[in-house]
Amino acid sequence: MIGEMSPGLILVLGAVLVPFLKGQARAAWMLALPIIGLMQLLSLPMGDLGQTTLAGVPLTTMRVDGLSWLFGFVFLFAAFIGILYNLYHDDPLQHAAGLVYAGSAIGAVFAGDLVTFFLYWEGTAIASVFLIWASGTERAYRAGMRYLIIQIGSGVILLAGILIHHHATGSLAFTKFGLDAPGAMLILLAIGIKCAFPLLGSWLPDAYPQATPGGTVLLSAFTTKLAIYALARAFPGTGILIPIGLVMAVVPLIYAMMENDLRRTLAYTLNNQLGFMVVAVGIGTEMAISGAAAQAFVHVVYKSLLFMAIGAVLYRTGTAEASALGGLRATMPLTAALCIIGGLSIASPLLGGFVAKSLILSAAMKDGYFWVWLILLGASAGAFVATAIKIPYAAFFAADSGKRPEEAPKPMLAAMSLAALASLIVGLWPSLLYGALPFPMTYDAYTLEHVVTQLQLMAFATLAMVVMVALGLYPFERPGQLLGADWLYRGLGYRLLRWIEAAANAAWTSIVGGVTSASGATVAWARSLHGPDGLFGRTWPTGTMALWTTVMLGAYLILAFV
């Protein structure tokens, strides 16, 4: 195709023409870019490509192996369906930002050195914020600013880690580090911010739901999955990731159950599913890493489908709040059916999530992580309730809200249908996915034990929700704002800054007042001595002046000749 050019760079450069094209020409060009990128990917040989030097340090701007190829492929697919979905509106800035964002994420997974990776990493941060600001609301602006500060902060930490690592080792290769490598802790922290680690991931439910419907679809596909790729590349087998991932898999579910905004609910369950991938990377075996990659692959597909379905609801009704929805299946039946497929894809046999998550659970059990396996199994049940039951039910089957919106626009339906088809293909023919994993393997997800266990889990989760609803224990959604770790800087931090500001203003006022008072006193004292009526300012008699002149001359002679 185009030499050794990164498929991601094709999208980034192609975005330049978007503002200059109109109508169908723009749509055709945007849809063609990920297809050209896919053709480029298929033409690239495995190995290190695009090798060059920077200040005498060798760089590898392109590396194609099993891990990067899989992530690159699914990112290109996500870019295509995201672009198709976004054809419902005519916003060249948002279209261009989406292409640069997707292209930067794709470029990053093929980066073989830390410099190239850092440049693309920052590209995703800068381009993606425009998808949030494109909503044009005050909340979106504020959320976008917080998002940008956190994402750029992640880049600064990453750069510091890279510089320390290069200074200590002389290498810029993007490879496995381990926590004992120089700068590795900073690199892990930077990745952890984008991966939404506990206490570091409040930006995700804060920012994603404020983006446009199409912007949220793109956001859900790239940033966090790029972080998973980076973890799998740099920190496989890092034990601390296992408890971190378990917290991620469990805690967000509590918020997802109570959250009223369905896009925020999806953001919390996105964080929950990231936890499974982080645990798998922490386990670090070939099966676990392949499980993390497989889960990232299918998660891009079905989570995009869910965000597309709720985005269509938001586009048609003007709200994504569960308390204001219900009964939409009557006029949006296709969107409802596709949303159900997206929800079931998280765990149901015959769909993508089942064949991917089975790898992670099997890896945990195989390597003796029984309690990890048990916690992940429970988190799977909770995620099924929050995703497969709550989302479709609240939007389409709950008590009739009286809203009668039109069906989703054709571009939205086409994009959702492609995502649903992809999940179905992976579920029916898992060998297609297993053969493309970083460590290709022969694995049978459809054993009687796996299928029965999963069906029992789904049945138990459904029964548990029914019982909780019947007993009044289910935390029904209601308008409001749930507080998370972001309260530390949006609540406590804001109040602390206001107190510091007030204290600083009081101190400054006191200092200025003291200086002003002292200056006034000094001026008054000087005036009392040198003013017209002062001791040194009034006219002295000639005899007195002659006397003082004689005294001063005498003093000089004494000092000079003694």
**CA 108 → CA 71, 230, 280, distances in Å?**
10, 9, 21
My answer on whether 161 and 275 are in the same domain is no
At residue 472, the 3 state secondary structure works out as coil
Is the Cβ–Cβ distance between 394 and 477 less than 8 Å?
Answer: yes
Maximal C-alpha separation, the chain: 125
Q: How far apart are CA 283 and CA 242, in angstroms?
A: 7
**Cα four-point dihedral sign 534, 537, 541, 545:** positive
DSSP letters for 223-285: HHHHHHHHHHHH-TT-TTHHHHHHHHHHHHHHHHHH-SBHHHHHHHHHHHHHHHHHHHHHH-S
My answer on whether 347 and 476 are in the same domain is yes
Is 152 among the domain residues?
A: yes
Last residue of a domain, one of 466, 482, 498: 482
Q: For residue range 189-222, list pLDDT tens digits in order.
A: 999 999 999 988 889 999 999 999 999 999 999 9
Which helix H or strand E contains 50, and what residues bound it?
Answer: strand 47-54
My answer on whether 155 and 49 are in the same domain is yes
The confidence band for 537, taking pLDDT boundaries of 50, 70 and 90, is low
Is the Cβ–Cβ distance between 209 and 144 less than 8 Å?
Answer: no
My answer on whether 275 and 329 are in the same domain is yes
Is 513 among the domain residues?
A: no
**In 10 A of CB 323, how many CB atoms?**
16
The confidence band for 367, taking pLDDT boundaries of 50, 70 and 90, is confident
Last residue of a domain, one of 482, 507, 542: 482
The confidence band for 499, taking pLDDT boundaries of 50, 70 and 90, is confident
Token pair, residue 108, equals: 């990053």
Q: For residue range 93-131, list pLDDT tens digits in order.
A: 999 999 999 999 999 999 999 999 999 999 999 999 999
Given a cut of 60, whether residue 139 has pLDDT beyond it is yes
Query: Which one is predicted more confidently, 110 or 515?
Result: 110
Is 37 among the domain residues?
A: yes
Given a cut of 80, whether residue 477 has pLDDT beyond it is no
Is 309 among the domain residues?
A: yes
Contacts of 541 (CB under 8 A, 6+ apart): none
Q: How far is CA 222 from the centre of its chain?
A: 8
Phi and psi angles of residue 282, each rounded to the nearest 5 degrees, phi first: -65, -40
Q: Which residues pair with 63 in a beta bridge?
A: 48
Given a cut of 90, whether residue 530 has pLDDT beyond it is no
Q: What is the pLDDT of residue 341?
A: 95
Q: Cα dihedral angle (320, 321, 327, 332), rounded to 10 degrees?
A: 0
Residue type, 85: Y
Q: What is the pLDDT of residue 252?
A: 92
Average pLDDT for 481-490: 62
DSSP letters for 480-512: S----TTHIIIIIHHHHHHHHHHHHHHHHHHHH
My answer on whether 207 and 321 are in the same domain is no
Q: What is the pLDDT of residue 532?
A: 64
Average pLDDT for 502-514: 81
Looking at every residue in the chain, the average pLDDT score rounds to 88
The confidence band for 77, taking pLDDT boundaries of 50, 70 and 90, is very high
Given a cut of 70, whether residue 507 has pLDDT beyond it is yes
Average pLDDT for 392-406: 86
Q: What is the pLDDT of residue 170?
A: 84
Q: What is the pLDDT of residue 533?
A: 63
Q: What is the pLDDT of residue 536?
A: 59
Q: Which domain holds residue 258?
A: 236-482
pTM: 0.86
Q: For residue range 2-55, list pLDDT tens digits in order.
A: 667 899 999 999 999 999 998 899 999 999 999 999 999 999 998 988 877 777
Overall domain count for the chain: 2
Least confident of 29-33, 78-82, 464-468, 538-542: 538-542
Given a cut of 80, whether residue 534 has pLDDT beyond it is no
**CA 9 → CA 119, 123, 561, distances in Å?**
12, 11, 88
My answer on whether 276 and 390 are in the same domain is yes
**Cα four-point dihedral sign 224, 230, 235, 237:** positive
**In 10 A of CB 176, how many CB atoms?**
14
My answer on whether 343 and 400 are in the same domain is yes
**CA 487 → CA 146, 346, 477, 483, distances in Å?**
13, 30, 20, 6
My answer on whether 446 and 345 are in the same domain is yes
The confidence band for 531, taking pLDDT boundaries of 50, 70 and 90, is low
Q: How far apart are CA 227 and CA 360, in angstroms?
A: 18
Name the residue with tokens 């790898």. 359
Is 255 among the domain residues?
A: yes
Q: What is the pLDDT of residue 150?
A: 93
At residue 93, the 3 state secondary structure works out as helix
Is the Cβ–Cβ distance between 101 and 131 less than 8 Å?
Answer: yes
Given a cut of 80, whether residue 540 has pLDDT beyond it is no
My answer on whether 194 and 302 are in the same domain is no
My answer on whether 157 and 286 are in the same domain is no
Q: For residue range 208-265, list pLDDT tens digits in order.
A: 999 999 999 999 999 999 999 999 999 999 999 999 999 999 999 988 988 889 999 9
Contacts of 278 (CB under 8 A, 6+ apart): 195, 197, 228, 231, 241, 244, 245, 248, 292
Is 551 among the domain residues?
A: no
Is 553 among the domain residues?
A: no
The confidence band for 490, taking pLDDT boundaries of 50, 70 and 90, is low
Token pair, residue 382, equals: 């909770």
Q: What is the pLDDT of residue 125?
A: 93
**CA 412 → CA 24, 313, 316, distances in Å?**
16, 11, 12
- Percent of the chain scored above 90 by pLDDT? 57
Last residue of a domain, one of 212, 231, 250: 231
The confidence band for 474, taking pLDDT boundaries of 50, 70 and 90, is low
My answer on whether 227 and 347 are in the same domain is no
Q: For residue range 408-438, list pLDDT tens digits in order.
A: 999 999 999 999 999 999 999 999 999 999 9
Rounded to the nearest 10 degrees, what angle do helices 333-344 and 410-428 cross at?
30
Q: For residue range 284-343, list pLDDT tens digits in order.
A: 999 999 999 999 999 999 999 999 999 999 999 999 998 888 889 989 999 999 999 999
Highest-confidence range of 271-285, 319-333, 448-462, 489-503, by mean pLDDT? 271-285
Is 38 among the domain residues?
A: yes
Least confident of 39-48, 77-86, 463-472, 543-552: 543-552
The confidence band for 442, taking pLDDT boundaries of 50, 70 and 90, is confident
Q: For residue range 152-177, list pLDDT tens digits in order.
A: 999 999 999 999 998 898 888 898 98
My answer on whether 258 and 164 are in the same domain is no
Given a cut of 80, whether residue 64 has pLDDT beyond it is yes
Q: What is the pLDDT of residue 541?
A: 66
